[in-house]
């Protein structure tokens, strides 16, 4: 198949950006969008030009490093998949595809398709972790965790931290991400003593870096980890709970 690719080029955070158009032919529909960018970069390098900067790591939907906006949608046209698993089969032969960075005020462009997602890291530093001494592995095995609690923790631990939810939100809110982190740890017995501190510090950081949630629901539509919209409701609920506990 043949595609016309309009790719965002931006030399640095303070430089102006623009779309650059390239024609790519003899593409297999089995290729992913990252493979498409690899093909484009090979042709740019062969021509003595700078390749397009793009982030990736696992290329199997686990790490959250990839993430671009394809035809205006974070990750691409196929719902529930990260960029690395989005196949070219969803485009018609001869189509024009636009590829640009994840767009959000909290994610400034570093170069081309690479954005700075350290605002998500600051949220994790604020409370999305376990800081108490939870004992050794043997201690952990001695602490029964009800199946429904363990399953909730695992469901919400599925968030890969890609940031697509933030880019999809008209307000630039990160409530789906923050809610997933809160629900991942909320009911587990070991970090129970941290629950109130976590909720207060994470929600304060959420307000510092991201926009407010207006329940548009766009976030859950693009989430490759299937984090449900009810994670958003966990943010005000956990904060309220913490205030009463104090």
Nearest approach, Cβ of 184 to ligand SF4 (angstroms)?
11
Contact between 57 and ligand FES per CB under 6 A: yes
Contact between 180 and ligand SF4 per CB under 6 A: yes
Residue 72 CA: distances (Å) to CA of 53, 76, 219: 19, 8, 14
What's 70's DSSP letter? E
Contact between 66 and ligand FES per CB under 6 A: yes
Please say whether the beta carbons of 197 and 158 come within 8 A: no
| Residue 72 to residue 61: CA distance in whole angstroms | 20
Written as one string, the DSSP assignment of 186-232 is HT-SGGGGGHHHHHHHHHHHHHHHS-------HHHHH-TT---THHH
Tell me whether residue 17 or residue 61 sits nearer to ligand FES (CB atom).
61
Residue with the two structure tokens 């299937």: 226
Tell me whether residue 94 or residue 170 sits nearer to ligand SF4 (CB atom).
170
* x/- map, 80-109, ligand FES, by CB under 6 A: --xxx-------------------------
Tell me whether residue 120 or residue 199 sits nearer to ligand SF4 (CB atom).
120
Tell me whether residue 186 or residue 219 sits nearer to ligand FES (CB atom).
219
Nearest approach, Cβ of 76 to ligand FES (angstroms)?
11
Contact between 223 and ligand SF4 per CB under 6 A: yes
Strands 96-101 and 73-74: unpaired
Choose the stretch contacting ligand SF4; rule: CB under 6 A; options: 25-33, 37-45, 137-145, 172-180.
172-180
Angle at which helix 195-209 crosses helix 175-186, to 10 degrees, equals 170
Contact residues for ligand SF4, defined by CB under 6 A: 159-165, 176-177, 180, 223-225, 227
């Amino acid at each position: 198949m043949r595609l016309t690719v309009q790719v965002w080029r931006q030399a640095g955070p303070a430089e102006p950006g623009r779309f650059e158009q390239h024609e790519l032919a003899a593409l297999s529909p089995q290729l992913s969008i990252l493979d498409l960018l690899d093909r484009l970069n090979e042709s740019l390098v062969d021509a003595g030009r700078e390749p397009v900067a793009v982030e990736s790591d696992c290329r199997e939907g686990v790490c959250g490093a990839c993430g671009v906006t394809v035809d205006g949608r974070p990750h691409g046209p196929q719902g529930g998949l990260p960029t690395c698993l989005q196949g070219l089969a969803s485009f018609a032969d001869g189509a024009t595809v636009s590829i640009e960075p994840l767009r959000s005020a909290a994610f400034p462009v570093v170069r081309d398709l690479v954005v700075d997602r350290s605002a998500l890291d600051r949220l994790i530093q604020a409370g999305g972790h376990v800081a108490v001494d939870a004992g050794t592995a043997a201690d952990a095995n001695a602490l029964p965790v009800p199946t429904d609690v363990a399953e909730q923790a695992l469901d919400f631990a599925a968030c890969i931290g890609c940031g697509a939810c933030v880019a999809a939100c008209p307000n630039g809110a990160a409530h789906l991400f923050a809610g997933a982190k809160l629900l991942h740890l909320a009911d587990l017995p070991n970090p129970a003593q941290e629950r109130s501190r976590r909720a207060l510090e994470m929600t304060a950081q959420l307000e510092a870096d991201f926009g407010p949630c207006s329940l548009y629901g766009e976030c859950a539509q693009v989430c490759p980890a299937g984090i449900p919209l009810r994670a958003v409701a966990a943010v005000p609920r956990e904060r309220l709970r913490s205030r009463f506990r104090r």
